[in-house]
Structure 1
Amino acid sequence: MDFWSLYLQSNFTLGLAYFFLCVDVMCLYIFHIIGILYVKLCMYRKPSNVVREELPGVSILKPLVGVDANLEDNLETFFNLDYPRFELIFCIQDEKDPACKVVEPLIEKYPHVDARLFVGGSKVGLNPKLNNLMPGYSAAQYELIMISDSGIMVYKNTLTEMVCKMTANVGLVHAIPFCCNRKGFAATLEKAYFGGAHCRMYICCNIAGATCVTGMSNLIRRSVLQEAGGFTELGKYISEDFYMGVAAVKSGLTTKISSYPAMQNSANYSLESFGKRMVRWTTVRTSSVPSTIIMEPFSEVIVCGICAAWAANFLLGWDPIVFFMVHTLQWFLLDYIQLRALQVEPLNMSKFDYTVAWAYRECTTLYHFLKGCFNNKVKWRTGTFRVKWGGYLEEVH
């Protein structure tokens, strides 16, 4: 090997080592600190100086499929929203779905709330969620549309806060996914993930100006949806929530994060369902935002730590094992601090349970990520779909 080749190789290795250290510093300190400060300073802020008479009407669309033990309690929180003018629109695809028997008694229990049930859906694309919502969307009477999943519960002030953030230059207000206190290791695992890694990257991506939106609980202008082609156009994609955010930006408006998280409170959760969810989300992300394939692994503690440990050893001669252990401990502690900041009520888990759940999630992340990257089929609601580049759907019969 000649001198020039040796020179290039040594400089490439040196540059790679500096790159890994920079990534480690960014992920471990900058991203974590931004996440913690944002939660501390911006979350759970009640709107002030609200003139209730001037608040616009809101149509709340609730897509329902099946029943779990918490469905009735979750839906009832929407009937008790402290907001002057809104309508509740429940959408169910199949008239034999047992969710009908949960919704109808609630409508009778709260006659003062403008609530309706639409059954049957309308096929406007391949996206089953939008097909389910289409009749309700067509009948909605207000400009502001809130789309909220069945497993979400809300605080009384949630809708007021979201509407107050919908200023003239905002097209969509979306909520950070989080979890209510539930029992079992799978619930602790979800709490550790959504209160740690997911929350951190969700916040940092949005602060950086990237479109990062989940469809668990969003408030969007009907005009933005119509300009984007409505549900017919959005129904081509698996990640309609992401493309709603793209539509808001394309229309010249911005997106904002709600001060209240989208509180997941489904009774159907397990280790198996969590793993399938992680794989499905990876498949969706990599098809819609291909850069995820390269960037995402370096935002996780193990891959980032191994690369940084090698870099520290190469540049500074530090023991890579000690470096990796210290790196992991710091990452763990910062994740826990962020979770405690996001948690309003007392945690229903011990520190030991959290440690085990956090370690389990971090050790299985790369497996779920790689499985999602090499998978192009997802099971979603009642169907199986093939996901193409660009987020397009193709039904698998």
Structure 2
Amino acid sequence: MMDRARAKGRTGGIVAMAVIAIAVVLAAIEMVHLELPGFAHVIPAVLAFVCALCAVVGIVYTCTASALVGRFFAREVAVPREFPAVTLAKPLHGDEWQLEQHLASFFEQDYPGQVQYLFGVHDSCDEALRAVDRLRVRYPDANITVVADARLYGPNRKIANLVNMLEQAEHDVLCFADSDVHVDRDYLRHVVGALQQPGVGLVTTVYRGLCAPGFWPRVAASLTNYHFLPGVVTGLAIGRARPCFGQSIAMTREMLERIGGLAQFSHHLAEDHAVGEAVRRAGAEVSIPPILVRHACVENTFTKLFAHELRWSRTVRAADRSGHLGAVLMHPFALAMLAVAFSGGATPAWILAAVALSARAWLIWQTDRATGDKTRSLLSLPLCEMVQFAIYVASFCSSGVVWRGTRFRVDRNGMLSPVHET
């Protein structure tokens, strides 16, 4: 089975390289025969050539990512040697879409060890606690603890919530998961198994979008599934990425104390990335097992989608500036369309755009195949590609972000400071 999969991967790679070669030849022929009557035509021609070249490299990246995503999820998951007691810490804020269902997925775990469910809010009247009350009824034997504490240690309220909650943590294995995350029944088994491997100090997981009803949530999920996820997998494969995702983090109490606790990250925008880097500096490994969690995508208007994705993109930029700059190659279709515009609609540029779009469609199919999902996003692919590129470009235009209704400025070190508007 594995040999056959490798053979298919090689065949797909050969086909992809052939398509790329054809596109490069066509572009080169067009450039050779260009007649530039004046200087005014030189700059657009140069820009068209640069965009076309970047699009070709982007197509190579896309084809590479298509192969790597299958390999990533084909790896074996570590099996726990034992099943220690776990504290699941969930910071809450407001009555989110399907909050009870998402939280309930953590109560349905196929895990024989003890589990403490630790929920935290800043306000004892927070509407999210209604979902917790219903869970108490559904799971009367569950060990549920609620912490309502308004103390803050910086602008990052999620970190403050976790710091306050952990004072009530009963167990030495700590698992932090966002409130809008849905997990499979074997989630805890897989996370604990990975955490027990030699040298591992923290376990985090990649995620896919779980879309609410509506068109724009589907677009948001597509951006997560087919840009973020393949990008992470490719970055890990080439040794470029050093991620840690706040959607799901597991570590021991000993490791948390070793890095100095969570309060130190209360001024970070990308606090999850900072936690991962602290663990690495302590000499431990950040493990990313081949499992998925689902992250809710609920932005039901273009404005909300753009604002949310822009904050995420600027978070990535703050965490890894050089990597974020290189991520331009993840947008081959948009780059090819720029080549079309700068070349005045040259036929080779249109062909390159078609090849780029086909490569992106292939990546979608391969990603869904690797994760066991059905492909539904091909009709909106051109729109998704252009929206993602617009968000990427906008991420360089400002250092400000809006987080839960508050505007912050982000400095070069990824630190948050509130913007006091007059």
Q: What TM-score bracket applies, with the shorter chain setting the length?
A: 0.7 to 0.9
How far off is 1:269 after superposition?
4.2
The 2-side partners of 1:380 and 1:184 are apart by 23
Shifted more, 25-34 versus 197-206: the winner is 25-34
- Farther-moved stretch of structure 1 (133-142 vs 146-155): 133-142
Give the aligned partner of residue 415 of structure 2.
392
Any residues of structure 2 matched to 1:142-153 within 5 Å, and which?
Answer: 142-153=171-182
Q: Distance in 2 between matches of 1:74 and 1:151?
A: 6
- Residue of structure 2 equivalent to 1:4: none
User: C-alpha displacement at 1:382, in angstroms?
Assistant: 5.0
3-state secondary structure, aligned to 2:409: strand
Query: What's the Cα RMSD here?
Result: 2.9
TM-aligned CA distance change 1:207 to 1:379, over 3 Å = same
Structure 1 residue aligned with 2:255:
224
Pick from 107, 117, 121 the counterpart of residue 146 of structure 2: 117
Q: Match for 1:260 among 267, 286, 291?
A: 291
Specify which of 237, 254, 264 is matched with residue 233 of structure 1. 264
CA–CA distance in structure 1, aligned partners of residues 351 and 232 of structure 2:
30
Q: Is the 8 A contact 1:93 1:120 kept in 2?
A: yes
- Native 8 Å contact 1:172 1:248 kept in 2: yes
Q: Deviations over 1:122-143 (max 9, x none)?
A: 2222211011122211221223
For residues 269-322 of structure 1, give each alpha carbon's deviation from its aligned partner in whole angstroms, at most 9, with x where no partner exists.
443322112111122222222214521112212355468999xx9xxx993322
TM-score between the two structures when normalised by the length of structure 2: 0.79
Flag the 1:118–1:379 CA change in 2: closer, same or farther, 3 A.
same
Q: Residue 182 of structure 1: CA displacement?
A: 4.3
CA distance in 2, matches of 1:271, 1:46: 38
What whole-Å deviation, never above 9, does each CA across 1:184-228 have from its counterpart, x for those lacking one?
222321332222121100111223332122211121233333333
Q: Report if the CA contact (8 A) 1:192-1:357 is conserved.
A: no
1:75 has 2:103 as partner: yes
C-alpha change, 1:119 and 1:305, in structure 2 (3 Å) is same
Residue 315 (structure 2) aligned to one of 264, 274, 284: 284
Report matched runs for 1:357-396 at 5 Å.
357-381=380-404, 383-396=406-419
* Letter matched to residue 70 of structure 2: I
Conservation of the 8 A alpha-carbon contact between 1:192 and 1:339: no
Q: Which residue of 2 aligns with 1:58?
A: 86
Percent identity between matched residues is: 20
Letter in 1 for 2:109: L
Equivalent residues in 2 for 1:1-397, closer than 5 Å: 20=54, 23-24=57-58, 26-39=60-73, 41-42=74-75, 48=79, 50=80, 54-83=82-111, 84-166=113-195, 167-180=197-210, 182-209=212-239, 210-265=241-296, 269-305=300-336, 319-344=348-373, 346=374, 349=376, 354-381=377-404, 383-397=406-420
Residues 19, 324 of structure 1: CA spacing in aligned structure 2 closer, same or farther, 3 A cutoff? closer
| Paired residue type of 2:107 | F
5+ residue gaps, structure 2: 1-45
Closer/same/farther in 2, CA of residues 325 and 156 from structure 1, 3 Å limit:
same
Is the CA contact 1:124–1:231 (under 8 Å) kept in the aligned structure 2? no
Distance 1:267 1:128 in 2: 21
The 1:61–1:77 alpha-carbon spacing in structure 2 relative to 1, beyond 3 Å, is same
Q: Which amino acid aligns with 2:157?
A: P
Structure 1 pair 183–73 and aligned structure 2 pair: CA distance change class (3 A): same
Aligned residue pair count = 368
- Unaligned ranges ≥5, structure 1: 1-11
Q: Which amino acid aligns with 2:116?
A: E
Residue 67 of structure 1: how far off its partner (Å): 0.4
Q: Distance in 1 between matches of 2:63 and 2:116?
A: 44
Q: What TM-score do you get using the length of structure 1 for normalisation? A: 0.83
